[in-house]
Structure 1
Amino acid sequence: MTCRSDLHRLRRPGPLLAAVLVIAAPALAVSERSGVAYREALVALSRGDGIAAEVALRKAEAAGMDRSALAARMGEALIDQGDLRKAREWLGPARFAPADAAHGWRMLGRLEMAEGHLPAAGRAFDQALTITPRDSRLWVDIARLRYQGGEHTGAIAAAEQAVNFDPENVRAIELRGLMVRDSYGLPAALPWFEGGLKRRPDDVPLLLEYAATLGDLGRAQDMLTVTRRVIALDDRNPRGFLLQAVLAARAGQTELARHLVERAGRRALDRPGGLLLSGLLELEAGNAHLAVEQLDRLVRFQPDNAPARLLLARALAAAGNDDELVARFGAEAATAGASPYLKTLVARAHENRGERDQAAPLLDAAARTVTVPLVLLPGAPDAGPGPAGAVRRARAMAAAGNVAGAGTVAGAALAALPGSAVTRLLAGDVQALRGDCAGALAHYRQVAEVRMTDGLVLRVIGCLQRMGQGGAIAPFVARLRVARPRDPLLLWIEAGLTAERGDWSAATDRLTYLSRSGLGRDAALQRDLARAAARAKRPEVARQAGLAASELLPLAGDSRSPEQR
């Protein structure tokens, strides 16, 4: 009966063992309580709920969990809430438990990025790399850091590394999809987003990028379906409502679009896209002063955002604020590369102030079509360090006729950041100014591997024309149209190419479509439509387009249709 005797002893501990168990019981209970709360926090963080994660982590702290074991996750929870000051209290000392050290360094890097301290972010990520060099999530953050710092080709390589290390990481898939969309176009990005959604069907950030891409492809109903799903999953996320507002605005339903922006809440106006959309909608609704308020915030936040600057100028003109319009845009309107529309807006403001002598040169310039790749913005000589500063300094030198000096600045910027699309574009622009269009195109091709923009399209076409290779423009545009089937600029260029072939009816159809799709207030488009319609023997279309052009730019040259002249 030896087995029974042993079992009996195990069931009845001796005095020493009993004492140990009595002492350890409270500690074990504390450890269990803190562990449960900590696991709750991890679940909350996985679904992006920083508030719930903080609450759970506070419980773990109250239950006795050491601060170093909480620091990384508490920092993450506070970053998710946007409370960067409190996040630094936890992450700044860099005292992390060994099991959480890599995550802690990664969160510190994200905090430094959020506060604009890019070198410090890089150092934090380097610390994390020494611990977990194959962490896909870390490589996603490194890719974002590189992109934000202007190292665009390095960012692409890091994003590819993230996918290679973990093909199931939806953040890595999302980032690669965004990069593919920028460089190869909308259809090429869809498989990335759809692949990510197969892995995580309810991932809100991925759904939002998928919806935006569908909308730009013209798949309005599909976009609406996806945004409704986003709102059902997270009705506090403003971007779902903003995307629906964009859809309504494209359909000409301004009031519905304004209502959707309101539903998005105040947080929508913390986003550049929300401010731009809100400003445009208020302007279309006749609320010029509200539009100025929104667009002024955006331009102060993004001073190089050209569409926003032009829209702000239009809002100031509509609000009758001639003094501010001249003060803020007078210097820019006087440059050779400023748009005819901006020149005319500023000229009108000068006339309203009785300054006809200052209005006349701007009106003359607005009546001519002038294209230069470098446009001077105010304050360029004091633009500061970095790629953006180099671009502004080079613009200032080029505008003053110092192309050699601009070339020196561009060369130094490119040597410092050879993987930057910004410095590469600047180098191409300087080559174009020197007359070396072949050299410019070589730079532009490398820029296109990162991001194909409207400005880059126009630069390439301009170089092809100057090189006598006009026949290459149509195939170039056709390739881009596959990637960006609804792009207004490409449709406009295609209409021009169609007109050059003598098919004025088809050109009129394309321009009419553009006029009805959001470009109806573009005077240059209406002028082109008037001319094409007159040649196509459509007098009523020509008359209406000519009148629209006259209303938009009544003083910038003769905007009457050829039939009216």
Structure 2
Amino acid sequence: MSRRTSLFFLTAICMLIAGGAFLVTDMGGKTAASSYQEAQQYIKTGDLRAARVALMNAVKEDPKFGQALLAQARVCLDLFDAPAAQDALERAQLAGVNKDQTAHLLGHAYWLQGEWDAAERLLKSPSIPQANRPYALRILGRVQMDRGDLAAAQGSFDEAIRLSPNDSQIWTDVARLRFVQGDQRGAIDAVEYAFKRDPRNVRALEFRGRLMRTQFGVVAALPWFERGLQINPNDIPLLEEYALTLGDAGRYRDMLAQTRALLALDPNNAKAYYAQAVLAARAGNYALASRILAKTGSTLGDMPAAILLGAICELELGNFNRAVDQLQILLGRQPRNRQVRTLLALAMYRAGDPLGSLDIIREIASRPDADTYSLKLTALAFVASNQPERATNPIDDAAIAAIRTSLPLPEPETLDSAARAARQDPDNAQTILPYIRLLAAQGDIETALNEALRLQAGNGGVADAHIIVGDLEMARANLPAAIVAFQKARQISFTEPVMLRLVDALSMTGREDEARETLAAFLAYNPTNLSALRLAGYRNLDARNWDQAIILLERVRGRLGNNDAILLANLARAYSGARHHAKAVHFAEIAYHIAPANAMVTHIYGQALLQQGRRPKAAKELLQKAVILMPENTQVAAAFRRAQAAYRMSAKRQ
């Protein structure tokens, strides 16, 4: 060994013994300081996972590098890895970092892990340095939101903004609070301000995308998620929202690709498995959907959509009692959810409990806005419970091909208790709306409208405040005022209920061009929405646009299958109009087998056979039956006369 080589090894040994900033590692010869600097560059570019690795290297090279440990904790929190963040903070304290310097971050870690009491104690500590107080107050506000104390959360955010008025993260969380309070316009304003303060704030971009889904529709949300993913391609919440929104937009292959990307980053990601389960269910493979959903374990136990999907899978697989159990849990949490109530009634009916089914579906089927499916289910339950005579009215009502605007279900409280709550908090939309609905339900429309107008005046950013005014004006037959209210709601939150109300009101006043535009705009942003597709199909039927009606109604059938007699009967009408008589007879026959007592279905089946001209006797018999079911309908009577003439002509030819 040469003298020069010996000196080199001696120097290296001395450096290893001394340690410190010049420590050489087996990681490419980097020092703790250089790894830390590398991490800072990764953080600037949004590559938090690479930053985390660089910081782990820095800490490995110097376990007492307090600044690196604090940075590691912050990165872990941004990656929602609270246990790792807590571990880094505890190690930082052992390395000599003052506890007060870690309190805001440790409180954040406790909050993410659901330890709200411990989080609140730390975040309220008076010894937190002034520079860290806005952060601490922001996380305290999130804790208070989770507790349901929205007033306290508002106070925490207000104080945080006073201390740091341009903090983009604080404004993002203010937007979340306003959304929870029902102030959609205020939420949009806050998150847009957050985005202006920091265009690279991926949490602001994610939340703006979520708001866009309710403001305009799923297609409008996609660019916001994509913009966030350009900044941080590996951001888990962004990838989750993007994947689910792609599915809602009907882009199933893209959705699957995103879930695979998610699982590559996070092999146990429950929302990725949930999205794949949704995809399998939409393809009709409920066994696969159930198996995939099982991979989420208990992670999504409180997610209503996941509970609903599980119940639908059980229902489709014939496990009716299991479906009943899951849907009862969900209805307990969401007593005014129409879809859950209808599915529970169906599950009970199929489980052999028609009386229980009737008890559950009554709140929907007894209302003037009852949908066709709930009426049909009511009729089936009456028959199954040995009350066939009571099935007639629901069957007759279900025979009408219409999209009924669904009004909110009754409030689960009395008018007196709602009035007391309204007096105590007269400007809170969440408190006043139940009171107004109960007033309207008891027929006191004028008092309800006065309260609704007062609420609307003070809550211009709350879509429900405008919707309730529109509903009450509709009840008073004041359609122009109702349209104005619904249009205001549309500007804030263009949801399915708003669209249905607005299209209905515009059509009733003869403003068909505006109704068409409203429906087309909604469908452009929500291309897979079944109610909108069905409504557009029916409107094209009425306009005799047969080919367009076929396209729209076939898209609905592709999602629902051959189970809806009214849908299939109207699809038969469209095919008949387009002179595709064989297809018209095919779908009319299926509809008739599903609902042989339905007057409209019987009429359409007879009409399809009559137009095809191959079975005149069957056409005559079906239309005769339709006349018996609808003796005062002149169109049915005229069709029967034509069928009689066609039958006589065929008999002469023979």
Bin for the TM-score computed over the shorter chain: 0.7 to 0.9
Distance change in 2, residues 1:157/1:397 (3 Å): same
In 2, are the aligned partners of 1:241 and 1:263 still within 8 Å (CA)? yes
Which residue of 432, 439, 445 maps to 1:397?
439
Deviations 1:428-460 (A, max 9, x none): 111222222222222222212222122111111
Q: Given the alignment of the two structures, is residue 126 of structure 1 paired with residue 155 of structure 2, yes or no?
A: no
Map 1:67-146 to 2 at 5 A.
67-91=99-123, 96-146=128-178
Instruction: Using the TM superposition, give the Cα deviation of residue 77 of structure 1 relative to its aligned residue in structure 2, in angstroms.
Output: 0.7
Give the letter aligned to residue 203 of structure 1.
D
> Does the 8 Å contact 2:181/2:430 carry over to 1?
no
Structure 1 residues 310 and 391, CA gap change in structure 2 (3 angstroms): farther
Give the fraction of aligned pairs with identical amino acids, expressed as a percent. 32
Structure 1 distance, partners of 2:464, 2:162, is 31
CA contact (8 A) 2:572 2:584 kept: yes
**Contact 1:292–1:315, Cα closer than 8 Å, also in 2:** yes
Report the equivalent of 1:491: 533
- Single out whichever of 395-404 and 165-174 deviates more from structure 2: 395-404
The question of 1:467 aligning with 2:509 is answered yes
Q: Which digits, 9 at most, give the CA deviation of each residue in 1:119-149, with x for residues without a partner?
A: 1100011111121111000000000000100
| 1:61 Cα offset (Å) | 4.5
The CA distance in 1 between the partners of 2:598 and 2:127, in whole Å, is 65
Gaps in structure 1 of 5+ consecutive residues: 1-29
Go from structure 1 to structure 2 and tell me whether the alpha carbon gap of 1:551 and 1:378 turns closer, same or farther (over 3 Å shift). farther
2:301 corresponds to 1:278: no
- 2:171 is the counterpart of 1:157: no
Q: Matched residues in 2 for 1:437 and 1:288: separation?
A: 44
Q: Does 1:309 pair with 2:347?
A: no
Stretches of structure 2 that go unaligned for 5 or more consecutive residues are 1-61, 422-427, 607-622, 624-654
Residue of structure 2 equivalent to 1:260 = 292
Counterpart residue number, 1:226: 258
Aligned AA for 1:243? A
Larger Rg: 2
Separation in 1 of the partners of 2:340 and 2:126?
A: 40
Secondary structure at 1:264's aligned position in 2? coil
Aligned with 1:449: secondary structure?
helix
Report the alpha carbon displacement of residue 521 of structure 1 after superposing the two structures with TM.
3.6
One-letter amino acid matched to 1:188? A
Deviations 1:1-35 (A, max 9, x none): xxxxxxxxxxxxxxxxxxxxxxxxxxxxx995665
Match of 1:414 in 2: 456
- Cα pair 1:373 1:429 within 8 Å, conserved: no
Question: Structure 1: which amino acid aligns with 2:187?
Answer: A
The offset of 1:540, in angstroms, is 4.9
Give the SS at the match of 1:419. coil
Note closer, same or farther for the CA distance 1:53–1:339 as it changes in structure 2 (3 Å cut).
same
Contact 2:396–2:599 (8 Å) recurs in 1: yes
Where 2:157 maps in the other structure, the secondary structure is helix
Q: How far does residue 487 in structure 1 lie from its aligned partner after superposition?
A: 2.9
Asked whether the equivalents of residues 380 and 393 of structure 1 are also in contact (C-alpha less than 8 Å), the reply is no
| 2:123–2:136 Cα contact (<8 Å) kept | yes
Q: Which amino acid aligns with 1:126?
A: D
Distance 1:552 1:118 in 2: 50
Q: CA deviation at 1:201?
A: 1.0
Q: 1: distance between equivalents of 2:333 and 2:586?
A: 38
Question: What is the 5 A alignment of 1:173-188?
Answer: 173-188=205-220
Match of 2:601 among 540, 559, 563: 559
What do the CA deviations read for 1:87-142 (whole angstroms, capped 9, x no partner)?
A: 23433556523232111111110001111111110001111112111100000000
Q: Distance in 2 between matches of 1:308 and 1:514?
A: 20
Tell me, yes or no, if the aligned pair for 1:425 and 1:447 is still in contact at 8 Å: yes
Residue from 45, 51, 65 that aligns with 2:83: 51
Give the structure 2 partner of residue 5 of structure 1: none
What does 1:196-345 correspond to in 2, within 5 Å?
A: 196-345=228-377
For residues 457 and 524 of structure 1, the distance between their equivalents in structure 2, rounded to whole angstroms, comes to: 22
Matches for 1:415-564 after TM superposition, within 5 Å: 415-518=457-560, 520-546=562-588, 548-549=590-591, 558-560=600-602, 562-564=604-606
1:264-313 deviations in whole A, cap 9, x for unaligned? 22212321221122222221222222222222222222233322222222
State how far apart, in whole Å, the 1-side matches of 2:126 and 2:407 are: 45
| Aligned equivalents of 2:383, 2:132: Cα separation in 1 | 66
Amino acid paired to 1:424: H
Q: For residue 410 of structure 1, what is the amino acid of its counterpart?
A: A
Contact 1:50 1:78 (8 Å CA) reproduced: yes
Q: How many residues align?
A: 536
Q: In 2 relative to 1, CA 57–149 (structure 1 residues): closer, same or farther, beyond 3 Å? A: same
Q: Which moved more, 1:405-414 or 1:544-553?
A: 544-553
Going from structure 1 to structure 2, the CA distance change for 1:519 and 1:159 (only over 3 Å counts) comes to farther
Task: Describe the shift of the 1:378–1:47 C-alpha distance in structure 2 as closer, same or farther (beyond 3 A).
Answer: closer
Counterpart of 1:6 in structure 2 is none
Quote how far apart the aligned CAs of 1:396 are: 3.6
Q: 1:486 to 1:327 in 2, by over 3 A?
A: closer
Deviant stretches of 4+, over 6 Å: none
- SS of 1:430's equivalent in the other structure is helix
Q: Secondary structure at the match of 1:531?
A: helix
Counterpart CA distance in 2 for 1:366 and 1:406 is: 31
| Higher alpha-carbon deviation: 234-243 or 207-216 | 207-216
Specify the code of the residue in structure 1 equivalent to 2:180. Q
Which AA in structure 2 matches 1:116? G
User: Structure 1 residues 392, 349: CA separation in 2 closer, same or farther (over 3 Å shift)?
Assistant: farther
Q: TM-score, normalised by structure 1?
A: 0.86
SS of match in other structure, 1:270: coil
| Code of the aligned partner of 2:186 | G
Shift of 1:191: 2.5
TM-score (norm 2): 0.75
Q: Distance in 1 between matches of 2:120 and 2:589?
A: 59
Per-residue CA deviations over 1:61-106 (Å, capped at 9, x if unaligned) read 4556554433321221122223334323433556523232111111
Aligned residues of 1:41 and 1:53 also touching (Cα < 8 A): yes
Indicate conservation of the 8 Å contact 2:341/2:360, yes or no.
no
Superposition CA RMSD, Å: 2.9
Structure 1 contact 143–159 (Cα < 8 Å) conserved: yes
Task: Give me the whole-angstrom Cα distance separating, in 2, the residues matched to 1:77 and 1:544.
Answer: 61
Q: Distance in 2 between matches of 1:550 and 1:72?
A: 66
CA positional deviation for 1:520:
4.3
**Letter of the 1:407 counterpart:** L
Q: Distance in 2 between matches of 1:434 and 1:93?
A: 56
